[in-house]
Amino acid sequence: MTNVASSMIGFMAGSLAFLAAGSAARAACPIQLAVYGETQSGAEIDFTPTGTSATITNTFRMILDNNTVLDGIAMWTEGSAGRPHGSLMYKCPTGDVTGEELAACTVWEGVIYSADDKGGVGLLPAEGADAPKSLIFPDLGPSLEMSAAYGPAGFSKVPWDVFALKGCQE
């Protein structure tokens, strides 16, 4: 074998090892840095670290077309059948808000499910866990279509319920 061929094989092996290491790094994205996308509408979900909240386990934004942004949170319910109860809000007032004001700006509520690449269904993990391959927001589209965020002053492309992992924020 010539030196050129030997060098080429070494270069290719090194390149493959580098690519494999990069794939492994992407596979271990923590949920608080995950980015998800929905293919029909182009909607995206960006998770952000929650901070020191005692009740909120996940914080995220859903970005729809026409730069419409919905603020999202998940809080685990109490008890033996605890679930990540998610809420998406549109233009909520800030500061000390009443339950009535919060209800008026909430455009979707429900359990947030996850799915792995084999079709196994679970629940949205809390911060620190690896990001699942997909997230499922049951009845998201119909809820958003009936909201104040939909229409001429908001978004026009209604997302489906399933969002796939697109990447990890740095």
The verdict on residue 2 lying in a domain is no
Pick from 20-24, 29-33, 100-104, 135-139: least confident: 20-24
Expressed as residue numbers, the domain containing 36 is 31-168
Give the pLDDT confidence of 70-124 residue by residue, as tens digits: 999 999 888 778 899 999 999 998 888 888 888 999 999 999 999 998 989 999 9
Question: What is the number of structural domains in the chain?
Answer: 1
The verdict on residue 23 lying in a domain is no
Q: What is the DSSP string of 47-108?
A: EE---S-SS--EEEEEEEGGGEEEEEEEEEPSSTT--EEEEEESS---SS--HHHHHHHEEE
Contact 154, 148 (CB under 8 A): yes
Give the pLDDT confidence of 132-165 residue by residue, as tens digits: 999 999 999 999 999 989 998 889 999 999 999 9
Give the pLDDT confidence of 53-76 residue by residue, as tens digits: 778 889 999 999 999 999 999 998
The verdict on residue 26 lying in a domain is no
The verdict on residue 108 lying in a domain is yes
The verdict on residue 40 lying in a domain is yes
| Residue 32, CB-side half-sphere exposure with 13 Å CA sphere | 11
The verdict on residue 68 lying in a domain is yes
Name 26's Cβ contacts closer than 8 Å, sequence gap at least 6. 167, 168
Residue type, 46: D
The verdict on residue 13 lying in a domain is no
The verdict on residue 56 lying in a domain is yes
- Average pLDDT estimate for 7-27: 40
